[in-house]
Structure 1
Amino acid sequence: MVKLKIIDKLKKKSHKDIALLQDMLIDIVYEVFPEAIFHGGTAIWRCYDGTRFSDDIDVYIKNDQKKLGIFKEKLKQRRTAIKEFKSTGNVVFSKLSLNSTEVRFEASFLKTKGKAIIKQYETIEGNYLNILTFSAEDLIIEKVKTYLSRLLVRDLYDIHHLLNYVEDKNKIKPYLKRLLSRYKKPKDENILETLVFVGAVPKTEQMLIKIKRWAK
């Protein structure tokens, strides 16, 4: 069966425009910061064949102000407007815009506990480039913490999806048990169907059944 390109899976033009801008940003990030570690929802979508749309770019990078300056220059060369660029010591938060399309970019200088691995990032046109990200296990650990802190259904869905790629069940079991013991319903569970762009959308109860099975 022929695999559809992302551009053919996305139904909304706004999503296609965001995905195209993300591709350009990732290209610039790895040109300037070759050791950057890509994580978060967009990393799961692009590197783990995800089906949930995400519009943010989240990376871990070294705190190098000179390279950050180069990064900003590269953005300007590609006609990308920097609408916001704030540094809070350990994190750079930015809003980047091309024409009417906007993407949130967040770079953290904090040391990561997870070990980076090489994965292929899928572009909107179906091409691939090697990037650094985390294993499914480490992304799940990160997502468990994120879900418990904000109770958004997208994080629960990401955990549910990443379980398909787990190789070391014992590594994630304590975190899944913590998730279940502290579990509260997502405060926005009704919006998941607007985020999943292809395939069936699982109910919260269905995702929990799968998580409970992996936690045993």
Structure 2
Amino acid sequence: MCGANDDAGTQEDQDRDDLKAYQKAMEDLVQSWMDRLQLISVITTFFASMEAGLLQVTAPDPDDDSTRLEQASNAGLIGALVVHVNAAILSFLAAFFLIRYKVKQAGKQELKAQAAAMADPVHGDMKAFLPSQSRHSTESSPEPPILSTNPELVQVGPFRRNAPIHILGRFHSLCIQLSFIGFALALMGIICFAWAKHPLSVSVFVTIAMGASLLSGAAILVWP
């Protein structure tokens, strides 16, 4: 009889450890996605503010006819502003999904704890987080094996039980792509403005500096 009780207790400990490991993995996963989305939101908002400031300098005078280079410069900066603002909004929406998920999970855990405390004020805090199979185990089964549930993270939608991993991945990929498109448009606007409003020597120097920066970044990415 004592051996059965010890085995049941060991199985309950295993189930409790598995559930804690699952909850810890979900918390780490949600926090990592939150950090990524917050970083994208901060970066795109920063570049959008910079592009808005550049537009105050590059905006043409309504009384003067603007050249094609000036039009291209303003088109690039305005396009970069629009793209970066959209990326910031999308990353904010994805972060909102995560916050909503965390609030719902916290509410469920609180309800479970309250129900367990009302049912068993002494041991309710432990029974609330145990699977039903381990709670209904009987003492008659001789030496039951210790099973590990080995929980896996499941990718589901934004309004279901687990975190919306696959939708967050789509949001993240789209925001990264929009950020790179905005960077390219902003660089185009700066180069066009340099060629439209500055002497030839300044324009050539800016173009060389831009090319050297891009080549050095590409070299770092492909460097073994």
Q: TM-score range by the shorter chain?
A: under 0.3
TM-score when normalising by structure 1? 0.23
Larger radius of gyration: 2
Larger helix percent: 2
More strand by share: 1
Which has the bigger relative contact order, CA under 8 A and spacing at least 6? 2
